[in-house]
Amino acid sequence: MIRNRAAPAASALGRGGLLVASLFVVWHAFALVVAPFPPSYLSGSVHAAIFPYLSVLYLDTDWNFFAPTPAPGRFVRYVIQARDGSSHAFRLTEDRRPGPSAMRLRKVYDGIHQDRPEHYASVGRFLCRRHAGLEPVTVTFSVHRQIPITPEAYVAGRRPLDADLVEMETLPPVSCPEPPPSRSG
Amino acid sequence: MTLIARGWRSLACWWQDAFFQEAPTTPLEVVRIGIGIALLLGYGLASTNLFELHGMEGLVTQESARIWSNGRWSWSLLFLFTADWQVAVFQVVFLLACAAFTLGWQTRWAKWIVLVGHLSFVYRNPVAQYGVDSIFASTLFLLCLAPVGDSLSLDARRRPVGDADTLGTRERRRRAWGFACLRLIQLQVAVMFFFSGVEKVRGDAWWHGYAVWMALTNQEFSNVPIGWLASHFWIVNLLTQGTMFFEVAYPFLIWGRATRPFFLVGAILLHLGMAVMMGLYLFSFVMIVVHLSFLRPEWLTAWAWRRAVVPPQQEPEPLRPPAAAPPRPRSEIPSTSSRTRS
């Protein structure tokens, strides 16, 4: 096939246009490459310079999908302590059917962590409102982490969510807001 | 001195060929449509959880979102709202803009609304974001800068693009700039795969071939029975190490004329596999869409609608090393008749 090479773009963009366009291309390409660079003194200095640009456009991503090691499974449950003394256990992540929001909700629940008290308090207060009918006093989260299962164990009949293959951590309870006076009266 | 001048001109020629070809940007339109569909599906079907994720009394309060952003310049129109009905109106406007963006109707306005809308959702609830949102953001930004909507769009139906001989200066400028944006999207995909691949090489689970097993035994991603993989673990090794080496090789070999088809098909199969085995449907779809930025316009000409959208005489050149030939003088460019745009 005879190829008809495109004419030099300078003819269309003009020298000034080509210069400006080239500067943007170089800048953006540089930002794309530097953004996911591993931390170092050099990359830290450069990253600081381009951070506002990356940050405002949500380009500050490290692109490390399932790397360097896929994280083990993690799921969250919670217990509502009701005003009458009863407690009610719920699953937060496991019972969710796959859907377009499932991944986003999973990320929110994955954020429930001992080091993120403001986040799990926010989720806790949401659950207080959701279960208002139970007159909740506290919400207590428990985070369950899977221990990797070997293929030999799987063939032998063990399964990833067997009790001895999951370790649990309980977070401090989140207090629910007092119900409005009109309801308590 | 002459040598330096010739070298400079060769470099300039290569630079223009690499980033500013006046070639059809049909792959850019394919990416626009694909990203538009993904946004419509992702946000539209998630409307049932709108208030849970973005409402005033949702899972993540505005204060919590700001703390989570941790120094990022976090901005969102949703921070200005004080009632859930405002969030609902915002969602409706955003989805309409996504539909217009996909169909290519008033594309020059719709694309900016889509970008601002997406970033507003992202920063309102940064906890709920994952890889697909980063791909949306980076691709949408370049699509906003690019002159999308020139083909495969309702806008193009109203003002059809002429053939190569009748292209005016404005159209040629749009093509050159559009091609630069397409190249940046391609570069983005290559960078994405490079760092994803290199990060995998760092991990023992990938290097020793059991990372896919770890991912599939994670209850969050387990989407298919895995007993057969446990019995035939060599398949896990093959999938794991094959993925790792493919991702490392992709950013280098996707540019080659001979290797591009194989790597493009390989990338699509990789993501189809992830969709089926891990249930990552939206992510896989979006990844396949951005890989389609590497489609060559001449491949698209084989499709039924080729005559309407791709002038057959103008095909992009592949990236290649600096050529010895100097750039073509401006006087050699055939004059083109200007075309009025409605």
Q: What is the 3-state secondary structure (H, E, C) of B241-282?
A: HHHHHHHHHHHHHCCCCCCHHHHHHHHHHHHHHHHHHHCCHH
Instruction: Determine whether the interchain pair A58/B122 forms a contact, defined as Cβ–Cβ distance below 8 Å.
Output: yes
Residue A23 · residue A38 · CB < 8 Å? no
φ and ψ of B210, to 5 deg: -125, 10
Q: How many helices (H) and strands (E) does chain B have?
A: 17, 0
Q: Give mean pLDDT, residues A27-52.
A: 90
pLDDT of residue B63: 83
Nearest-Cα distance to chain A for B155, in Å, is 23
User: What pLDDT, on a 0 to 100 scale, did the predictor assign at position B164?
Assistant: 52
CA of A87 vs chain B CAs: smallest distance (Å): 22
Distance CA A42, CA A45 (A): 5
pLDDT of residue B172: 85
Q: Which of B8, B9, B11, B22 to mutate to test the interface with A (most CBs of A within 10 A)?
A: B22
Buried b (16+ CB within 10 A) or exposed e, B306-324: beebbbeebbbeeeeebee
Could you tell me the sign of the dihedral formed by the alpha carbons of A6, B319, B272, B235, in that order? positive
Q: How many CB atoms lie within 10 A of CB A169?
A: 11
Q: What is the pLDDT of residues A45-92, one digit of tens each?
A: 888 889 999 999 999 888 888 888 998 888 899 999 999 989 999 988
Q: What is the pLDDT of residue B222?
A: 83
- Residue B64 and residue A118: Cβ atoms within 8 Å? yes
Indicate the pairing of strand A74-82 with strand A136-146: antiparallel
Cβ-based neighbour number of residue B2 at 10 Å: 6
In this complex, which of A5, A9, A72 lies closest to B20 when CB atoms are compared?
A9
Out of B46, B67, B328, closest to residue A118 by CB: B67
Structure tokens at B163: 């053939």
Rounded to a whole number of angstroms, the distance from the CA of A84 to the nearest CA of chain B is 25
Chain-chain contact of A22 with B15 (C-beta, under 8 angstroms): yes
A118/B333 CB distance under 8 A: no
Beta bridge partners of A145: A74, A167
Residue B181 to residue A61: CA distance in whole angstroms: 19
Query: Distance between CA atoms of B106 and B67, rounded to whole angstroms?
Result: 37
Prediction ipTM score: 0.86
Closest CA in chain A for residue B59: A123
Who among B13, B16, B137 is closest to A58 (CB)?
Answer: B137
pLDDT score recorded for residue A184: 46
Residue A175 pLDDT level (bands cut at 50, 70, 90): very high
Taking the C-alpha atoms of residue B342 and residue B335, their distance in angstroms, rounded to an integer, is: 22
Q: How confident is the model at residue A5 (pLDDT cuts 50, 70, 90)?
A: very low
pLDDT value of residue A25: 95
In chain A, pLDDT over 90 holds for what percent of residues? 45
Q: How many residues does chain A have?
A: 185
Measure in Å the smallest separation between the Cα of A20 and chain B Cα atoms.
Answer: 11
Which regions of chain B are under pLDDT 50?
Answer: 304, 312, 315, 321-342
Mean pLDDT of chain A: 85
d(CA B290, CA A139): 42
